A = this chain, B = another copy of it.
C-alpha cells in the first residue's frame, strides 16, 4: 500500500463582487440574488484551502513543499484575485456569475494546470465563515 497523505495550504484574498445574470432584467436579478445583486458591488475576505494528495517523497518527507504550494497560489491566484473586483477585473467572470461555486471551479482549474497530475487536487473556498464551497466534490 502506498502511503497517500493529503496536505493543505490556506491562503486569503479580499475582493469585491456582485451576483448578476445579464440575461435577466433588474427585477428578476433582484428577486433571485437579493442584496447580493447590489449594482455597486459588495465584498468578502475569501479564505481558500488547497488540498494536494500524494505520496511523501523519501528524501524530503514532503507530498509537496508547502512553501512552493503557497508560492504557486500567490502567483497564480492571489496576484489575479486579491484586492480586485471579480466582475470587472477578471475576464473569467465577464460572462460567468461569480458565485462561490463558480469562483472555486475557476481557482481549481488554474491550479490544476500548475500541479503535477500524479497528485490529486481539491479546493475549498470560504466566502464567509458560514458560506463555503468545495470542488471537486468528493
Contact = CB atoms under 8 A, between A and B. Distances in A.
Interface of A: 3-12, 14-17, 19, 21, 23-24, 32-36, 38, 40-45, 53, 56, 59-63, 65-67, 82-85, 88-89, 96-102, 104-105, 120, 128-138
Contacts of A36: 83
Q: Is the interface of A mostly helix, strand, loop or mixed?
A: mixed
Contacts of A45: 44-45, 128-129
A137 B6 contact: yes
B42 A15 contact: yes
A97 B100 CA distance: 29
B137 A21 contact: no
B135 A38 contact: no
A99 B62 contact: yes
B8 A61 contact: no
A120 to B, nearest CB: 8
Contact of A89 (B32, B40, B67): B40
